[in-house]
Structures are given as C-alpha cells and as structure tokens.
Structure 1
C-alpha cells in the first residue's frame, strides 16, 4: 500500500488542467458571446458570422462542463477517497438512447440553419449534432473493456480537450510559418514573380471581395509546385502531427500501470474529444445548403479520429505497460496511413475543379465517396476487433 503521506501529483496535475479548462471555457464563452451579440445590437444582418461565433461560445461552455467533473473527482482523490470504478455497458445504453434523438437534432439544425433566427437556435443544436455521435462512438469503443475509474475517464477527456487540440494547432501553425519563410526565401531569388505578387497585393484591401481576390490568386495557387506542397501538408504533415499529439490523454496515464486496453480506451476518448472541437468548428461555419450531407460527412471524420487515436493509444499502452515498442511504431504508422488516405480522398473533389487536373482526376474524384465508405468500414472492423480482443472477462456482480 502506498504511504498515506505521499502527495498525489497526478490528481494535482489533473486538477490544474481541469481548472484551466473551466477558466478558459467560461472566459472564452463569455467573450465570444459578447462578440456575437454586439453585431446584433448594431443591426448587423450577417447571421452566418454571428452563428459561428455563438457556436464557439457554446463550445466553450461544453469544455467547461466536461472539465468540471474532472476537477471535482481530482479534489476527491486528493482528499484520500477511493476511486469510483465504472464499466461501459450502461454508458453505451444511455448513449444509444441519445442516438435515437440524433436524427431529430439533425433535421432541426438543418431547418434552423436557413432561418433568420439561426444564431439563437442553431448553436445548441450543433452541440447535439456533434456531441451525440462522439459520445456514442467513444462509449461503443470502450464498452466491455476492463472497468476504469471515473476520475481517469474525466481526466483523459479534459486533457484531450484542453491540451490536445491547442497543441496540435500551434504545431501546425509553426510548420506553416516555416513554409512561409521558405517561400519568402524562394521569392527573393525570383524578382519577377515577387514583383507580380507585390503589384497584385496593392490592388487588395480589407473591403475587397474574397471571390475576386481568389480569382486573381488562382493562377498562382494552381501552380503544380504549390499544389504539391499543399498536398504534402494536408496528406502528409497534418496526419503525422495529429496522430502524434492527438492521443496525449494516454500520456496522462503514464506511470499508472497502463495496459493495452486502458491505452486503447484513453486513446479513443482523446480522439473523440479532438473530433468534438474540430467538427463543431467546421459545422459552425457550414452553409444551409447541403447541411445534412456535410454533417453526415463529419461523422466519418469523427470515426477516423476515434479509430486512429485508439490505435496509437493501444500502441502506447503496449509500449508503456508491456515494453512492446514495435507495436507502438506499427500502430502509429497505421494511423498516419489511414489519416493520409482519408485526407487525400476528401480533397479530390476540390482538386478536380482545377482545369489541368480535371481530366486526370475525374475518375478518382467520382470514386472518392466509395473509397471513404470503404475506409470507414475498415475502421469499424479495426475498432470491433480491438474491442473484442481487449475485453475484460465477465465478472458476476461487477459494479457498473
């Protein structure tokens, strides 16, 4: 038995992260709500922008709500109380009941998206449209696995919300900045191209029509070299970065007798939290036309994030708990490949609009939805197989 006087640094760290999430969640929600309401007071008619800002305000409230139980349970642990153990079967039943309401939330969100009052009703509906499938996916993946403490579950969720997405974003911005610097060095050796871009930039201002700006920049953006770099970033660097840092919630459990099953569960939950914020951001700016189709497509991306983070989490659990480092390398590689294939298939329909690529990619773009469907099926199989493999043996009378 550990000494009663030994300070629980893990719970203390969890408390700090949770309080940070509550602080930034509530503070960000208040600031964004103010920014969203001010245009309404001024008589602005840009409902799409207002809705987007208020949706992110609701997202801040959601982050704070998820971090609150984590903080309470961390305090409870610091006070010396025994952890509450939880299994996943009843959680899955509850999530499945909520899933029955998801089509209704989707239809209501679609109807609200085109109304003049979308800023009022759409943000909370988007929380349901995004939150319900994420909750069901993470519950289904973890159902039947060995029971885990409620503190661990909420701690991983908080870590995945507060640390994972911001860190991923900062690293991707840093990579982009390096690319911008590299492009600047290249332009320094191309005085003709640099002069063209300087002349073009002088014709733009803050009031310029974005479509006009895009049309004027299109000849430069459609250069093979620029397109290649864009593809390398979207289908290469982004998967490498996200699959490395997305399952950071698993590292939260390092040193706590981490097992492959615990790593898989924590990874899937971390991926779900990442998907929650990312999908909420995308849907907050989605147009009313084709809203349901776009929302359904985002559920595929949620499945991707849960699967790949779960894979890497399983590898981390195997490496930290069983010293199986080769499995960690293979699972990370597999997650990156899945993510890269998904991103590539997802941007093909956009690439086919570029004139000199239309004939070359038309067939691939047409097959893209079927390819994404096949990848989704593969990911479902991966999750089912891993869940069956890592399941805990049935124990009569186990607490749920």
Structure 2
C-alpha cells in the first residue's frame, strides 16, 4: 500500500492522532473519524487477500471563501490479487468463454450421441446373431460376427457415454483431472495370465467349450497388451514436465475406436471395389480365403497391394483424426504423441478383437501373434499425431518433420502387413512359406508369424527409443499440475466421436 499523503497521515483510519494537521492558511480539522468511507474500487463487495481495502474519501465541504478540498481516490486493485466476490454486491465480471472450446463441446455432444446410437444398434445385432447361433448351431459362421458386434457395442456405449459426460462438463466449464494409470506391470501380468489360460484350454481341447467365457478371454487378450503399452509410455515419460487430461484421453481413445474404424473401413472398401472393377479376374471371395483355388495370381497380387500399400496409407492417416482437432491446443509434443497413441490403441482394440474372433477355434494362438498389434497401431498413430503437432505448433522444418512422422508410420505398417502377406506370393515363395512350420509341441508357428513376432520385438525397442527421445526434446515450459491440464489457456472440450 503506498504511503498516505501528508493530509491523511495522522487520520484515525491510519492510527494517527484524532486531530488533522495544519495546512498553511487553513485551520485544523478536528474530527475526521466520522467521515463515511466510499466503497472500494471497482465496486462494492471487493477485497484483496492480505491487504485492507483503501476506501477513498470524498471532498470536504467548502468553508466560506474557500474552494472545496478534493477527495482522495480509492486505490485500484493490487497487482496479482484478484477481487473476490462477496454476496449482496453488484454482478461480478465473468471470464469470456472460449469459442473454440464451446464449438468442440457441441460437436462432442452430437458425436457422442451418434456413438451411443451406433452402440445400441450393434447390441441389437449381437443379440440377433446370438439367437441365430443358439437355434441353428452354426457357430463358425455367426460367432465372429457376434464378437465383432460386441466390440462395436462397447466402443459406442462405453466410449460414447464417457465422451458425453466430458462434453457436458466442458460446456459447463468444469475442469478434468490429469491422466494417471496404474503401473504397466499390472496389465502385463494380466495379459500373461490370460494368455496362459488360453493356451492351457487349447492344449486340453477346451478353447471353445464355453463360448461366453471364451468371449471374455478374447476381449482381455486384446485389452491387456494395449493398456500395457500405454502405461509403459506414461511410466517412461514420468520425469518429463508434461500432462494431459482424462477428457482428452477419452476423446482420443474413443475416436480411434469409432471414427478411425469407420473411416478406414469405408475407404478400404472403396479401394477394394475399385480393384475389383479394374481387375477382370478379381474375386471378392478371396478376401476371406486367399488360399481358395479360385484365387489366381493376379488376384493375390491385388490383395498384397491392398494389404501392404492401401491399408497402411488409409489407416495411418485416419486413426488420429480426433487428435488432430486438438493440435492447436496441445501443450507439448509428448502430449500429442500420447494422445495419438491412445487413438491407435482404440483402433487396435476393435480390430484385434475381430481378428481373434475370426480364428476363435485357435484364439490363443492368434492372440499371441497379435500381441504386437498395439505397438503397430499405437506407435504409428502417435507418430502421426506428433506430425500434426509440428504442422500446427512449430515454424521451423514443420513440413519435413510432419511428413517424416507420417511416413515412418506408413512404412512400419507396410512392413508388418507385407510379412503377413508372404504366403500370397507366387511360387516358389508362397507355397514354401505356407508349408514351413515351427512346432513347439503345444503350439506351432508359420514363417510369416515368426517374422511378425520378430517385428514386435523390433517395434518395442523403437518405441522405447522414441519415448526417450521425446522425454529429452519435448517438455512443457512450466511444471504440470492438475489445474494446468485444463486451465483457461489450455482447457478443451472432449469431443466424443
């Protein structure tokens, strides 16, 4: 508080003597204490922590022959201390709403509603397939469709429900908590135990003895490795100063499991139909069974192009689209990578559950080979999201860095799919790959499956190296906190897709 002017230094309000000091040519003012104070600036009901409000005083009534003494103005707000609203005073000033946040909140409400409707439709479809399976006993035809419908149901109802919740809270201006997960080894132990149960059931020919239990195990063998990867990434980045919120994580995970799957399916279906129209000998039945004798060499070549070229280009582009909406608000490259990885994991959960269900009679074997799918989709989508971050938030070399991140994801995916398509190559390579087997007694692996397992190990090493590089090069300028994750400069609505 600044020192009082000489005319106020001895007033009762400052603990001085009750008499007013003499001014040249003026008599003393004896009783100053009865002057009523004027409310503090900027209006009634405001105070400042640690400081008494300076009231301000009106001008004095003029004496005969003299002009009035001007009043002392109220002291303005003290820097660094906001005014606190007191009940009964005038309306407090409101912080202006973030139009971008409001827009995303509205989009979130709409998209999460659509996701909920899609989830309900998938639930109805799953019920119909269960009914048909129980009456016709045609498990091999309808069980994969049932499991896939249940995966879409979970993505729509659970993911859409959480996105709806966060979208409403965002529109109400409510903050979201910082993302935290249990240690990664908890999920890793869960995956090992689940996979061991599956292998034991397979060895005893009980893998599909009770389909409801088999369905639960299929879901767990897809969920546990994906969550292990995400928790491992958070663990390796724990020393870096960064944060993200549950709201943004929910957006990323749900968008990958819904919007990413939808767009990829539509684009890949369009590409497949174009290939079928361009190739006179292309047979659509070969998509499900490439080993069918009707599948000629030209058809298999088109299938390799579809798997190793078109699918990587499409999927790596559309998986992190939900995170791209947040690129302008992300606080660091680490947050962009983690949210992109979350979108890829959401995509992986739905896709992996579908692949395991298609080989349900040998589901533990398929789940083991698909262990690295979370790395494939999570690491790829994380790199693409990091590319989006460079395009929107950096100025130097942003085009080269953004394109390099996207190209890495595409090449990684193309290499994975190419190893899985070796059996489609013409003679003598294709038949040799199909005939070669590594028999371990309780389980056997083909050459293409061994190559995929080897790629899983390589991708894991690359993932750890990339995360360590991110930890060294991308950090927030200030330490992260629960309030900073959704502060007025960084808070963003969760968009349910």
Normalised by the size of structure 2, how large is the TM-score? 0.65
Distance in 2, matches of 1:72 and 1:37, equals 33
Q: Report the CA distance between 1:67 and its aligned residue.
A: 2.5
Which residue pairs with 1:310 in the alignment?
382
Pairwise CA distance, 1:46: 2.2
Q: Which moved more, 1:45-54 or 1:72-81?
A: 45-54
**Unpaired runs of at least 5, structure 2:** 1-93, 438-445, 486-497
What residue in structure 1 maps to residue 169 of structure 2?
A: 76
Indicate yes or no: 2:283 matched with 1:283: no
| Structure 1 unaligned regions, length at least 5 | 188-193, 205-209
8 Å Cα contact 1:102-1:128 kept in structure 2:
yes
Match of 1:207 in 2: none
For residues 375 and 338 of structure 2, the distance between their equivalents in structure 1, rounded to whole angstroms, comes to 14
- Spell out the pairing of 1:54-203 with structure 2 (5 A cutoff): 54-63=146-155, 64-86=157-179, 88=180, 91-93=181-183, 95-109=184-198, 111=201, 114=206, 117-143=209-235, 144=238, 146-184=242-280
Retained in 2: the 8 A contact 1:261–1:317? no
CA–CA distance in structure 2, aligned partners of residues 84 and 233 of structure 1? 42
CA distance in 2: counterparts of 1:287 and 1:11, whole angstroms? 40
Report the structure number with the largest CA radius of gyration.
2
Comparing 225-234 with 339-348, greater Cα deviation is found at 225-234
Structure 2 residue aligned with 1:190: none
Total equivalences in the alignment: 365
Contact 1:159 1:249 in 2 (8 A): yes
Deviates more, 1:358-367 or 1:175-184: 358-367
Task: Give, in angstroms, the shift of residue 288 of structure 1.
Answer: 2.4
Q: Distance in 1 between matches of 2:368 and 2:133?
A: 31
CA–CA separation in structure 2 for the residues paired with 1:105 and 1:396: 39
Listed as ranges, the matches of 1:1-400 within 5 Å are: 3-4=96-97, 6=99, 8-40=102-134, 42=135, 44-63=136-155, 64-86=157-179, 88=180, 91-93=181-183, 95-109=184-198, 111=201, 114=206, 117-143=209-235, 144=238, 146-184=242-280, 214-215=292-293, 217=294, 221-223=295-297, 225-257=298-330, 259-289=332-362, 291-323=363-395, 324-348=398-422, 350-351=423-424, 355-357=427-429, 368-369=448-449, 371-391=451-471, 392=475, 398-399=481-482
Task: Sort the Cα spacing of 1:369 and 1:68 in 2 relative to 1 into closer, same or farther, 3 A.
Answer: same
Could you say if the C-alpha distance between residues 228 and 48 of structure 1 is closer, same or farther in structure 2, counting changes exceeding 3 Å?
Answer: closer
Residues 53 and 228 of structure 1: CA distance in aligned 2, closer, same or farther (over 3 Å): closer
Distance in structure 1 (CA, Å) of the matches to 2:143 and 2:105: 37
Which range is displaced more, 268-277 or 97-106? 97-106
CA contact (8 A) 1:258 1:317 kept: no
The Cα of 1:270 is off from its aligned counterpart by 0.9
